[in-house]
Amino acid sequence: MSGPDPYCPGQGNTGYDIDSYELDLAYHVSSGRLEGEATIVVTTTGPTGELVFDLAEHVKVGKLSVDGSRPARHRHGGGKLVLALKTAAPAGKRLKVVVHYSGNPKPVRSLWGEVGFEELSDGALVASQPNGAHSWYPCDDRPSSKAPYRFHVAVPNGYRAVCNGRLVERKTKSSQTIWTYEQAEPMAPYLASLQVGRYELATMSELPVPDRIAAPADLARKLDPSFGRHPQMLQVFTELFGPYPFAEHTSVVTADELEIPIEAQGMSVFGAQFVGKGKDAERLVSHELAHQWFGNSVTCRQWRDIWLHEGFACYAEWLWSERSGGPPAAHWAAKHHKRLSDLPQDLLLADPGPKDMFDDRVYKRGALTLHALRTSIGDEAFFQVLRAFAARFRHANASTQDFINLVDEVGRRGLASLWQEWLYERALPVLP
């Protein structure tokens, strides 16, 4: 596995691969306190005398064990938890690490603002992109470190905990309800999510997979204008991109307003202000759903390839528009090309730099790059490329070069000038 991501220096670790995470959590809504036991199974990739995980300082570490024994020593600071092994482990050694921790988790400060675990007015949410996973559990916090997860979350009765994956058990114990979820497909740490609120769950559709929505009771009656066509979206994107990559999808609508929607694996999270907005909100709903294929299943190998997430999800907005009776993608391409032409021409799409990785120009220029490709190779080859990309890198990581290679293989060769102009030059090319 590659080393730490250069866009997030100091995060991510080497010396092991993660085999699985199991998080046993209790969240106290009234105090905002989280008590956790993280069981992390790793396989060493070389001889090592220590294991290092990302974990923010605002939670306190308690009991620790490696294969049932206390480590020789540990230290926790600077966003790292370091466990020194009593006996050095050889390459290929499988180890079970258990970390008990507690505290009041909060977002970590980053170049992109505060990211990670945060309290709501009556609950909590997680918004970890790109590097906030270590705000609430110990992990290898980089997009290339994928693993399956299992969550056990105890919350006060009357609250629902929503996590990634399939709900496999719900049981009430005294004043708490314990929710257990299994996320079988490998997941990048930033996509792991915990949403806690007074949510009612409804099923919008059962095909092609269960498509559910969780919202407070007072908002549940108002969801249809924004989310009513979500099942049709799911059908359209399954046709265009290939089979939906997870067991189910859940949309969560919080009682609070949120600045932007939040993507998580098998989940999309929206603030209360998106309810009842109709097509104004539907564009963002389609964007977040498309991330299940491009971003969550196919995840960039490094953050410099972020256009493989955002450009694809933005283009999916335009595809949904043309497939649902709105303007075609060509209309949106022309509109946004004109807008981008009036903005600074100082961004390399294939490596925008950490400061600009979430700049709207990455989203729109990424979508325009796909439209230029579609125009060049035709619809049949273009959608064959999208389905092949989603299939080949399903539950894995991909780079810009991986996508270019696949286009050469599935679509056609001879596109070097297109890639050069759209990905590796700052000037905005002419729209085909």
Domains of the chain: 1-197 (2.60.40.1730), 207-289 (3.30.2010.30), 298-423 (1.10.390.10)
Per-residue pLDDT reduced to its tens digit, 19-73: 999 999 999 999 999 999 999 999 999 999 999 999 999 999 999 999 999 999 9
Q: Please, which pLDDT band fits residue 2 given cuts at 50, 70 and 90?
A: low
For residue 355, count CB atoms less than 10 angstroms from its CB and return exposed for 0-12, middle for 13-18, buried for 19 or more.
Answer: exposed
Q: What are phi and psi of 194, to 5 degrees?
A: -135, 120
For residue 100, count CB atoms less than 10 angstroms from its CB and return exposed for 0-12, middle for 13-18, buried for 19 or more.
Answer: middle
- Residue 278, pLDDT > 80, answer no
- Residue 284, pLDDT > 60, answer yes
- Residue 88, pLDDT > 80, answer yes
- Residue 250, pLDDT > 80, answer yes
CB atoms within 10 A of CB 254: 27
For residue 338, count CB atoms less than 10 angstroms from its CB and return exposed for 0-12, middle for 13-18, buried for 19 or more.
Answer: exposed
Q: For residue 226, what are the CA distances in angstroms to 249, 289, 327?
A: 16, 13, 18
- Residue 366, pLDDT > 70, answer yes
Q: What are phi and psi of 266, to 5 degrees?
A: 75, 10
Question: In the predicted model, what is the mean pLDDT of the chain?
Answer: 96
DSSP secondary structure code for residue 331 in this structure: H
What CA–CA distance (Å, rounded) separates 420 from 432? 15
What was the pLDDT predicted at 276? 83
What was the pLDDT predicted at 396? 98
What CA–CA distance (Å, rounded) separates 297 from 305? 15
What CA–CA distance (Å, rounded) separates 196 from 182? 17
What CA–CA distance (Å, rounded) separates 399 from 259? 29
Q: For residue 268, what are the CA distances in angstroms to 193, 214, 250, 288, 428?
A: 10, 10, 7, 6, 32
What was the pLDDT predicted at 388? 98
Q: Nearest-CA neighbor of 55 among 37, 79, 75, 85?
A: 79
What CA–CA distance (Å, rounded) separates 68 from 404? 46
What was the pLDDT predicted at 411? 73
What CA–CA distance (Å, rounded) separates 286 from 228? 12
Under 8 Å CB-to-CB from 310, ≥6 apart: which residues? 295, 358, 362, 363, 366
Q: For residue 296, what are the CA distances in angstroms to 243, 268, 274, 312, 398?
A: 14, 11, 22, 12, 11
Q: For residue 31, what are the CA distances in angstroms to 26, 28, 127, 198?
A: 12, 6, 20, 16
pLDDT (mean) for 133-160:
98
Count of all residues that appear for the chain in the document: 432
- Residue 3, pLDDT > 90, answer no
- Residue 199, pLDDT > 90, answer yes
Q: Please, which pLDDT band fits residue 277 given cuts at 50, 70 and 90?
A: confident
Q: Whole-model pTM? A: 0.96
pLDDT (mean) for 199-227:
95
